[in-house]
Amino acid sequence: MTDKIYDLIIIGGGPGGLTAAIYALRAKLDVLLIEKTGIGGQIALSDVVENYPGTAPMSGVELMAKFEEQAKAFGLEPRYGEVGSVKDNGGYRVVDTADGELRARAVIIASGAKPRRLGVPGETEYTGRGVSYCATCDGFFFRNKDVVVVGGGDTAVKEALFLAKIVNKVSLVHRRDSLRAEKIIQEKALNDPKIDFVWDSVVTGIYGDKTVSGVTVRNVKTDASRELAVAGAFVFVGILPNSDFIDCDKDEAGFIRTDDRLRTSIPGVFAVGDVRTTVLRQVATAVGDGATAAYVAGEFIESL
């Protein structure tokens, strides 16, 4: 552990973390942002973002590049690494990393979430060989082939629309008889001739040889099973929070509980964006969280 004590350590470089950094840096706080993999978070994998106010439709990578550029203009220098734990040590918070322990007066958790897996036979075996959790990353490899998309929320339907531009046919498998995605996205998908809907169904297995050649689908109402011959399976059935490294109050799914000022159960530790319990997980809500948490964290630091 070094003697240095940062004012604020932000864990995660997605929209929430970068916004918190911008607000904290403008408040002249001594800020360190730690990112595990790459700046941008999950939205950087999105083909197009068209619901962030004040911007023309653009890719998630482009949007997050603008966030990063703005944060760096205020002096942000991200550090890359993995956080092992965050603990309260009275006068400061201790953040354990692979490079040693760091200290801060306040911490903002902006670590986001990761895709939930189906947990069916073949999924792990064929991950990277036909099973994917990112259409914009891997869609190109399935040009003019048939694929299946699993899920019915915003991400699943958006990714199905993206894939429909590339592949021969998309079979969208959803356990209900209607989609949960935003209405405008639903309309686009329902009117896309290259998207076929497999309602009231779940994928029960993924099979192939060296790569995926098909999936088994079961109808939840009739219990009848059938096989779909596809070259790829894209899974979008929800997310799991990246919250294992912190021991604080969480909901049953592991999302961090906060109050309306984004305070966690640990004094001086705040949570923003997808990692916390919230009704909506979007760039716009993460940005609002980041701004609020940076402001409240500033108040907390002043109180010390």
138, 146, 192, 200: the catalytic one is 138
99, 137, 251, 259: the catalytic one is 137
CA distances to 15, 70, 139, 160 from 10, rounded to whole Å, are 12, 16, 33, 33
Please tell me the distance from the alpha carbon of residue 208 to that of residue 215, in angstroms, as a whole number: 9
88, 96, 134, 192: the catalytic one is 134
Known catalytic membership, residue 248 = no
Known catalytic membership, residue 137 = yes
The Cβ of residue 60 has, within 10 Å, a number of other Cβ atoms equal to 21
Pair of tokens at residue 87: 């603990």
CA distances to 123, 204, 213, 230 from 226, rounded to whole Å, are 17, 10, 14, 13
Please tell me the distance from the alpha carbon of residue 10 to that of residue 272, in angstroms, as a whole number: 10
- Asked whether the beta carbons of 147 and 249 are under 8 A apart, the reply is no
Cα Rg, the chain, nearest whole Å? 21
Please tell me the distance from the alpha carbon of residue 90 to that of residue 73, in angstroms, as a whole number: 33
CA nearest 64: which of 8, 110, 131? 110
Known catalytic membership, residue 3 = no
Q: Which residue has the tokens 């036979």?
A: 121
Q: With b meaning 16 or more CB within 10 Å and e meaning fewer, what string describes 227-249?
A: ebebbbbbbbbebebbbebbebe
CA nearest 106: which of 264, 283, 277, 287? 264
Q: Which residue has the tokens 């040889």?
A: 209
Which active-site residues does the annotation give? 134, 137-138
